[in-house]
Amino acid sequence: MPASTAPQVPPQQESQLDSQQSPHRDPLPAPHRDPLPDQHRDPLPDQLPDQHREPHPQPPQDSTAPQQESHVPPQQEAPEEPPAAPRPQSRGADTRALTQVLFGQLKELEPGTGEHTRVRGALIEANLPLVRYAAARFRSRNEPMEDVVQVGTIGLINAIDRFDPDRGVQFPTFAMPTVVGEIKRYFRDNVRTVHVPRRLHELWVQVNAATEDLTTLHGRTPTTPEIAERLRIGEDEVLSCIEAGRSYHATSLEAAQEGDGLPGLLDRLGYEDPELAGVEHRDLVRHLLVQLPEREQRILLLRYYNNLTQSQISAELGVSQMHVSRLLARSFARLRSANRIEA
């Protein structure tokens, strides 16, 4: 069947029906009830632009509900602090302990083998701070610190080759005089008496070479103008180089006194005090001696600083020589034990 169509109601009758259904609402004239054009009609909520649309209300979140985002604990978010640098005392103790272990290994190895060379090199590397400490005492000299450290390393190698760990002496105590002595010998034998600038030193080498060439060419010693012309430099620079070259050879102070019958300068100078050589050793053992009883301290001082025999010590203290010998042995045992604990 065809679909039934609703009866068409005229607009006038429709307005009358509305007025009858809404008795309290004043009917509007027909022209005012016409639908508005599209451009004047309020848009529906779904047709509003995004910037004018009110956000949809969100349901309240339960504070007890688990969060979706995983939060890193505070202790993991904070950056890790770098490890604290070891104190100098702990580094020194570690070096002494490592040195003792390496010397124990070196003693069991045959010299000349690859393992012996490796352990010996590890000993040198571990004790290089000792060389730098000794070289720093000569920082005021006009020599490169690298050269002084190399010379001190030679003394360190000699000390390693001569050290006997069974004697109960710590290696730094044994090696320091050897390292310092090697550095002093270097300054005594190889260093110039007057510091010469590098440019003058290089020019002095060229002046010497030109002097030898001109001497061979002319059969005589060349003059200053000839050397300057050969090197294309000024005569004053040649004279400065010759003067600087004299600093490589020290003149004896006795030369001015020869032949005049007067005593030489060395005869009027004071002699070297032999006690000065033991100053460093006394400083090294002073902190250990204070740990001994007063009587044992006195016996050690009489024996090794006053060079008295055991018989002389026994006569001075009024005890037997055998008792003095026992006290000395006991003192050595205590010193070794204290030194081992410090290491």
Domain residue ranges of the chain, discontinuous segments joined by +: 88-190, 195-247, 289-342
pLDDT average, residue stretch 18-34: 49
CB-based contact 297:282 (threshold 8 Å): no
- Outline where the chain has alpha helix (H): 11-21, 74-77, 88-108, 114-126, 128-136, 145-162, 171-190, 198-218, 224-231, 235-245, 265-268, 279-289, 294-304, 310-317, 321-342
CA distance 196 to 192: 8
- Mean pLDDT, the chain, whole residue set: 73
**Confidence category of residue 1, pLDDT binned at 50, 70, 90:** very low
* Residue tagged 């451009």 (tokens): 39
Do 289-342 and 195-247 fall under one CATH topology? yes
The whole-number pLDDT of residue 226 equals 92
pLDDT digit string, tens, across residues 75-111: 444 445 544 444 545 565 788 888 888 888 888 888 8
3-state secondary structure of 41: coil
Q: Using alpha carbons only, what angle is made at residue 105 by residues 161 and 330, rounded to the nearest 5 degrees?
A: 80
pLDDT average, residue stretch 215-229: 91
* Percentage of the chain modeled with pLDDT above 90: 20
**Confidence category of residue 251, pLDDT binned at 50, 70, 90:** low
CB-based contact 130:156 (threshold 8 Å): yes
Say yes or no: domain 88-190 is CATH 2.115.10.20. no
Q: Specify the CATH number of the domain 289-342.
A: 1.10.10.10
The contacts of residue 86 (CB under 8 Å, 6+ apart) are 94
Tell me which fold the domain 195-247 belongs to: Arc Repressor Mutant, subunit A (1.10.10)
For the chain, report the end-to-end CA distance as a whole number of angstroms: 117
